[in-house]
Structure 1
Amino acid sequence: MKYIQSSKNPVVKQWKKLLTKKERDLTRTYIIEGFHLVEEALKQEDTVLEIILVEGVDIPQKWNVDSVSISMVSDEIGKVLSDTETSQGIFAICKQKEGEHIIDQAATLMLLDGLQDPGNIGTIIRTADAAGIGMVVLGKGTVDPYNPKVLRSAQGSHFHIPIVRKDLHEVIPLLKERDIPVYGTALENGVEYTTVKPHSSYALIMGNEGNGMSNDLLTETDQNLYIPIYGKSESLNVAIAAGVLLYYFKNGQ
């Protein structure tokens, strides 16, 4: 086990860079924080590259970390790396594995078009995982899935469900070639979601929190759906709406 005391150490500076999308994309790695996320990551073979512990924090005995590099760091370094107000003092450097996932292997997909709120994206990934969705695809303009807030909100679902980043204009034709219906979400030219009979395979697109789906994507869908509002609220939160639709399709199969 290595011990690092100074926050000016080059290794620490490299770890800190992983809090930026640029460095995550460059190195194809990312940093996670907290016991739950690290434990979930360790369950996936060849994912965790290194574990970082703040002094005084111990690894649970049930964890198998024989093949993982471990570094002990000072409390000062822990504060530098932490993206939370109350850190648990444990981090891990993980390998991005989205390139290993093939869209042709998924029968049910959640597609995200330009979502900007990390909490919403993480919640949708977590909900898609719970609903048994085969894959989540993040289109252009959608926040990085390895953003610390997305990771925290998803609560480990990154390690359960394939997540890829790809232009949705390229994805939709691939799905149509496989006769997978593609559903958009919009009030205009849409139908109430309960009027659609669920299929065993489908793709569902959720749009930007403020502007909804882009108009050019709406023209490529097989059908656009909306959820009726019975009270005075103008709309549902996009993550809540995704949950309603995913479970409707799941329960109707």
Structure 2
Amino acid sequence: MKNMITSVQNQKVKYWKKLQKRKGRIKAGMFLIEGYHLIEEAKRSNWDIHEIIIKEDQQVPDWCMDFTIEKVNKTVFHHIAQTESPQGIIAVVKMNQTECYPGNYMLLIDAVQDPGNLGTMIRTADAAGFDAIILGEGTVDVYNDKVIRSTQGSLFHIPVLQRNLLETISILKKEGFRIWASALSGAEPYNQIEVEDKVALIIGNEGAGIQDTLLHEADSIVNIPIYGRAESLNASIAAGILMYYIRG
């Protein structure tokens, strides 16, 4: 193992710090994850772990020995950690450049901006057996630390791509997909719609919903009946209900 890094002015520390921002992540093609569970999930799913950062008072787990390890003091560690109670371990991971999305069930996300909502949708899509997630323009960065934590490791189990949604819908239609869009008005109850063999579900922005240009491309516009006095459901809850219905 190399000498311990003790200064926040160290060039490696400055590089890690840049990975906290979307611009820095895109430039490097890398992102940070914190905690034993997420790092073990990334390793188990064969993502490319570039290096592991360990706080000075932490024991280095045996499974970390396959990777480059950087030991840092407490000051440096807390300088780059993004959680309130860090576990003392961070990994630098290479972004996964998935190009294809085989399968019959897709989740298309239009400008969802809350990191917790996006992370929960990814986790639920993984649990429901969806095959891929397509993020449209205006959606929060999937490599945002709050998104990653909300996925609870599901980010490493299911392909997540960033694409133009109009172009994606056109491609999916040619491949025989039925396009479902979730909306409050002009919609039919979701449980009255027959589920075809291939379905792509669009979920829209928390406040504005799905863009009209995308709604016009939908084969079915669906809603979830509200039986109480709430105006609407949280976007990630609605996505979960619809995904499980589609998977039947």
Band the TM-score falls in, shorter-chain normalisation: over 0.9
Q: Does 1:101 align with 2:105?
A: no
Deviations 1:129-178 (A, max 9, x none): 00111001100000000000000100111110000000101100000001
Aligned to 2:73: 74
- Paired with 2:219 and 2:20, the residues of 1 have a C-alpha distance of 38
Structure 1 position 249, deviation (Å): 1.2
- Paired with 1:100 and 1:247, the residues of 2 have a C-alpha distance of 25
TM-score, L = length of structure 1: 0.95
Q: Does 1:180 align with 2:181?
A: no
Aligned to 2:191: 194
Contact (CA 8 Å) 2:98, 2:161: kept in 1 or not? no
Count of aligned residue pairs for this structure pair: 247
Contact (CA 8 Å) 1:101, 1:162: kept in 2 or not? no
- Paired with 2:233 and 2:13, the residues of 1 have a C-alpha distance of 41
Give runs of ≥4 in structure 1 deviating > 3 Å: none
Q: Does 1:135 align with 2:132?
A: yes
Say which SS state the counterpart of residue 141 (structure 1) adopts.
coil
Q: Does 1:245 align with 2:242?
A: yes
Aligned to 1:40: 41
* Root mean square deviation, CA, Å: 1.1
- The code of the aligned residue for 1:12 comes to V
- Paired with 1:154 and 1:101, the residues of 2 have a C-alpha distance of 21
> Structure 1 residues 46 and 193 mapped into 2: Cα distance closer, same or farther (>3 Å)?
closer
Structure 1 position 81, deviation (Å): 1.0
Runs of 5+ in structure 1 lacking a partner? Answer: none
Structure 1 position 83, deviation (Å): 1.0
Which of 211, 232, 236 in structure 2 is aligned with 1:235?
232
Greater shift, 159-168 or 190-199, is seen at 190-199
- Paired with 1:134 and 1:191, the residues of 2 have a C-alpha distance of 25
TM-score, L = length of structure 2: 0.97
- The code of the aligned residue for 2:50 comes to L
Contact (CA 8 Å) 1:50, 1:94: kept in 2 or not? yes
1:52-131 matched pairs, under 5 angstroms:
52-61=53-62, 63=63, 65-97=64-96, 99-103=97-101, 105-131=102-128
- Paired with 2:148 and 2:175, the residues of 1 have a C-alpha distance of 31
> Structure 1 residues 46 and 119 mapped into 2: Cα distance closer, same or farther (>3 Å)?
closer
Structure 1 position 5, deviation (Å): 1.0
Structure 1 position 46, deviation (Å): 4.8
> Structure 1 residues 58 and 200 mapped into 2: Cα distance closer, same or farther (>3 Å)?
farther
Contact (CA 8 Å) 1:115, 1:208: kept in 2 or not? yes
Runs of 5+ in structure 2 lacking a partner? Answer: none
Q: Does 1:163 align with 2:164?
A: no
Aligned-pair identity in percent equals: 44
Structure 1 position 250, deviation (Å): 1.4
